[in-house]
Structure 1
Amino acid sequence: MWTNLPRVLTLVVRGFALTLAVLTTVVVIRTLTFPSYQTSPPECKTTDPDFIPADEERLARFTSAIQFQTVSYERGVGTPQELLKFVRFIQESFPTIHSSPLVRREVVGNYSLLYRVEGSDGSLEPYMLASHLDVVPITQEASWEAPPFSGQVRDGYIYGRGTIDAKHSLMGSLEAVEFLLSRGHQPKRTLYLAFGHDEETGGHFGAKVIGDVLTERGEKIAFILDEGTPVGDGLMPGVSKPVAMVSVSEKGIVDVKLKVQAEGGHGSMPARKSAIGILARAVQKLEDNPHPSMFGTGPEARMLEYVATEMTLPYRMLASNLWLFSPLVAWVYAKKPQTNAFARTTTALTSFTAGVKDNVIAPEAEAVVDHRIHPMQTVEEVLEFDRKVIDDARVMLEVKGSLPPSPVSPHGKDSPTYTVLQETIQQIFPDALVTPTFMVANTDTRHYWNLSSAIYRFNPYVMTPSDLPRFHGLNERISVRNYERVMNFYYHLIVNMDKPLEVKRHGHEDEL
């Protein structure tokens, strides 16, 4: 037996070397031949006859829109008078839309707006562009570079709450429709504009009512576009070009209350185990044992593959061969909170409540854990994982609220709706790459799932790493150039959607 050992070892080494050679060959070939998912439609230029400039009049409308303090504070608590004034302002600011026989305007849920722009071809399914009227509250007002509801223009930027979330898309889409109708053009495909008034607190009285109204009418929507992920410049490692990230899904949510009841009493005579101690160990287990990586099972893998051909070599090799390198990429993703959120269901301890007095042992302790659920997991799977990790019958779990992950919308070259969106993006952002992803936050689209299987979330403006803290934060702003892109993006999308949902482009040689 021992005399054959050198021969066996030789065979093992040769087998390993052969396997390594085959793997290396496959990796090299895939890296060199991996397909491109990008398109090159005709660019929208400022010299085009149908270009919408951010002129003085359009900028004045947008800056005025920012001045309405349409703040949503909590569910059911907002600023109704400001909403009414803003709705009136919109009606007065777009005379062509509001006088056109092609347009039907409805006020839904007291403050939300639903427009139907009638198309000439009733055989085509309508589509919908969505945004919202409300904004989040202001914090640290004294630290703003410009008053947060001023709409002030400084150094090529428009400052104010709502400039990127999301009055830019609301006003930009209205400007696009106003421009289209003022040119005497009736779209072929019917278009809805849906503007909820309480998106920032869940959309329960705005978008939900809009969704219910359209459902009751039996409406089926071919395509829905709402606010979402931006064109990131410098946000994706290994890519020098801007990357337009189109969210084809959203993470779900489950807020779990953990509760422990134990013996209370005076602090001088403590029991061996306290409610606080039991609960503290439970939440420590949850933080020490994250949910398993789901990288490679959902849109997060496509996000890399769709830009693989434009990456620098090490990144390109990894992205082109996720069949082999997914565990390595998942390990890297887990190192940072921003990327870890794309790899798994996240666990955030958001509150811990116990005790009433320094010398009194608390008989009860409660904590709340906020999970954001990966698109390939369910609420039930998340709860079962928590129970197994905690493994303590004394800890009671109660679901305070939940929302399952949204369905994943079709994407890629075989999806005509995604292709129309991609080509429109690359007309306005010709240097950008387009890739699918998912949102770690949620939008009003949660109320539209039954209306369409093709729901996308995208913000048509360029965002850099330094811009990220401005979202819901200090000094929210958008550049004048970016707002110009917003208007032209919606206009081109409307024109492109005039055609059957096939892989076709809007060229400027085809005048309206």
Structure 2
Amino acid sequence: MAQKHVCVVALAAVLLLLFATDCRSMGLRSQEHQRASRIPSQFSKEERVAMKETLKGAVQIPTVSFGPEESNSTALAEFGEYIYKVFPTVLSTSFIQHEVVGEYSHLFAVLSSDPSLQPCLLLAHFDVVPAPAEGWEVPPFSGLERDGFIDGGDTLDDKNSVMAFLQALELLLIRNDIARRSFFISLALGSMSASSGVGAQKISVLLQSRGVQLAFIVDEGSFIFDGFIPDLKNPFTTIANSEKGHSSGPPKEMSIGILEAAVSQLEQTPLPNMFGSWTLTATLEQLAHELPFPTNIILINLWLFKPLVSRYLERNYVTNAMVRTTTAFTMFNAGVKVTSLVLSINFWIHSAQTVQGVLELTKKIVADDRVQFHVLSAFDPHPISPYDDKALGYQLLRQTTQSVFQEVNTVTPGTCIGNTDSRHFTNLTTGIYRFSAIQLQPEGFRSIHGINEKISVQACENQVKFFSELIQNADTDKEPVSHQHKL
């Protein structure tokens, strides 16, 4: 019985790990910023058809990036032409500036009525990792609509956001209803696992050169999770206010025996458990009020049960990644001569640690001078963005989530375990949040970057409504307070 309920605690952290977490005071709805949406609760039939058809058409353009210097350039150019075709109002509005950056990426500047309000940025990428046809029920770039879902290799990552941004803007323009706060929409060649964010990086440099400072940024990274935790009846939301950086440990010249011993040592000696640091405990404590006895008692008394919960979190490979820097051996090849080997290691670094700290721990674990370490590329974990009552971007996302998704009672803080394009914009704002406004069940989450990725038609509509309301809600005069990132 006790083991079952502690496993529930472990599964709670799965949600955190999945992509992000952001907190709010005890998960209760704040009424002070709530207001009636100017977007109707139900779209017209014509609008609903337009939403799904524009996404289907976008999915059918195979904007594949194979690496930083290799992509389907024909499809990337075609996608730019497609935007002009399906969003005529956006492209013909006088106070919207559109420019192509670095050949294929797109930047929209929506110049609204109050220049005193610091602008915000909606960020998405339209390229996609290669999707082999094997194993798919339908071709991966079919955009086929079946049983209320649209199939496609980029329906959840990240053309859904691209289309939702522009569709929301198109609807607001048609209704002659634009927010007072100016904002940017960045559609970049930028999938981290494909093109390494090259388009987003160029857009960031461009904005910096123009002296732009942003109130906040919204990028991909987290979802509304439904059915992930046993005994939790309602879906809950995590808004990622940080993300894990990664560093690759480079190849070393060594014998097979030396290297085998080094690998064995690293496998048997995981890096320290950091449970209790940063936002994970806040997330579990906020989820406690929706869980039954005795799980809720355990979670709200982590001061007492932290060692027990920590040990259980280590047992599951998913929750284990939430509490420590994790180690993955990615390549093991012959080196430049007979007695040398090359081993590549990826470290996904916990927010409480640094690249240098992980490197020093690794050397201490291996404890063999014959094994040399060289860092091929690395960056420290991203700063943690504010999520208190004075954090404008976070509070707007929380408010809008609980307006559009009435069934969500809890919005929590968290860490996105992957990298997003927002990493290129840390010089422009302290408020970077990763959230896609899509309600996902476990099966849907597993399909991202995988086989049979698809999105429901209802999710498309909800995402458009969400970003329409977010733009409207940003009318507030409240500006972000001075904040220093915690590292």
Query: TM-score by structure 2 length?
Result: 0.88
Partner of 1:13: none
Contact 1:44 1:428 in 2 (8 A): no
- Per-residue deviation, residues 396-454 of structure 1 (Å, max 9, x unmatched): 00101112111001113342321111010111111112111101111101101111100
**For 1:362 and 1:278, how far apart are their aligned partners in 2?**
14
Matching of residue 497 in structure 1 with residue 474 in structure 2: yes
Partner of 1:157: 149
Q: Secondary structure at the match of 1:228?
A: coil
Partner of 1:455: 432
Contact 1:43 1:428 in 2 (8 A): no
Contact 2:404 2:462 in 1 (8 A): yes
One-letter amino acid matched to 1:476: E
**For 2:379 and 2:271, how far apart are their aligned partners in 1?**
18
**For 1:187 and 1:43, how far apart are their aligned partners in 2?**
14
**For 1:278 and 1:47, how far apart are their aligned partners in 2?**
64
Partner of 1:123: 116
**For 1:346 and 1:492, how far apart are their aligned partners in 2?**
38
Matching of residue 400 in structure 1 with residue 393 in structure 2: no
Matching of residue 38 in structure 1 with residue 28 in structure 2: yes
- Per-residue deviation, residues 190-245 of structure 1 (Å, max 9, x unmatched): 01001111324354420000000011111100010001111111223552211111
Matching of residue 481 in structure 1 with residue 465 in structure 2: no
Contact 2:191 2:420 in 1 (8 A): yes
One-letter amino acid matched to 1:291: L
Partner of 1:284: 264
Displacement of 1:143: 2.2
Query: How does 1:88-99 map onto structure 2 within 5 Å?
Result: 88-99=81-92
Give the length in aligned residue pairs: 452
Matching of residue 386 in structure 1 with residue 376 in structure 2: no
**For 2:173 and 2:39, how far apart are their aligned partners in 1?**
20
**For 2:178 and 2:37, how far apart are their aligned partners in 1?**
23
Matching of residue 352 in structure 1 with residue 344 in structure 2: no
Partner of 2:413: 436
Matching of residue 319 in structure 1 with residue 299 in structure 2: yes
Partner of 2:483: none
Displacement of 1:492: 0.6
Q: Secondary structure at the match of 2:411?
A: strand
**For 1:331 and 1:255, how far apart are their aligned partners in 2?**
27
**For 2:450 and 2:185, how far apart are their aligned partners in 1?**
27
Displacement of 1:185: 2.1
One-letter amino acid matched to 2:391: S
Q: Secondary structure at the match of 1:129?
A: strand
Contact 1:249 1:456 in 2 (8 A): yes
Q: Percent identity?
A: 37
Displacement of 1:302: 2.0
Partner of 1:48: 40
Contact 1:199 1:206 in 2 (8 A): no
Partner of 2:78: 85
Matching of residue 465 in structure 1 with residue 432 in structure 2: no
Partner of 1:227: 220
Displacement of 1:325: 2.1
Query: How does 1:245-256 map onto structure 2 within 5 Å?
Result: 245-256=238-249
One-letter amino acid matched to 2:432: I
One-letter amino acid matched to 1:498: D
**For 1:91 and 1:194, how far apart are their aligned partners in 2?**
15
**For 1:407 and 1:308, how far apart are their aligned partners in 2?**
27
Q: Secondary structure at the match of 2:263?
A: helix
RMSD value, Cα: 2.2
Q: Secondary structure at the match of 2:177?
A: coil
Contact 1:52 1:488 in 2 (8 A): no
Q: Secondary structure at the match of 1:179?
A: helix
Higher relative contact order (CA 8 A, sep 6+): 2
C-alpha distance 198-470 of structure 1, shift in aligned 2 (>3 A): same
**For 1:397 and 1:321, how far apart are their aligned partners in 2?**
42
Q: Secondary structure at the match of 1:431?
A: coil
**For 2:43 and 2:35, how far apart are their aligned partners in 1?**
11
**For 1:62 and 1:44, how far apart are their aligned partners in 2?**
28
**For 2:308 and 2:208, how far apart are their aligned partners in 1?**
45
One-letter amino acid matched to 1:257: P
C-alpha distance 345-52 of structure 1, shift in aligned 2 (>3 A): farther
**For 2:48 and 2:291, how far apart are their aligned partners in 1?**
37
One-letter amino acid matched to 1:233: D
Contact 2:118 2:213 in 1 (8 A): yes
Displacement of 1:498: 1.2
**For 1:168 and 1:443, how far apart are their aligned partners in 2?**
16
Contact 1:76 1:205 in 2 (8 A): no
**For 1:340 and 1:394, how far apart are their aligned partners in 2?**
30
Residue range with higher mean Cα deviation, 296-305 or 218-227: 296-305
C-alpha distance 44-469 of structure 1, shift in aligned 2 (>3 A): farther
Query: How does 1:199-218 map onto structure 2 within 5 Å?
Result: 199-200=191-192, 201-218=194-211
Find runs of 4+ consecutive structure 1 residues off by over 3 angstroms: 40-54
Q: Secondary structure at the match of 1:36?
A: helix
Which of these residues, 306, 309, 319, is aligned with residue 339 of structure 1?
Answer: 319
Contact 1:106 1:113 in 2 (8 A): yes
Contact 1:187 1:495 in 2 (8 A): yes
**For 2:158 and 2:88, how far apart are their aligned partners in 1?**
22
Partner of 2:14: none
Q: Which has the larger radius of gyration?
A: 1
**For 1:371 and 1:38, how far apart are their aligned partners in 2?**
36
Partner of 1:172: 164
Displacement of 1:394: 0.3
Contact 1:246 1:457 in 2 (8 A): yes
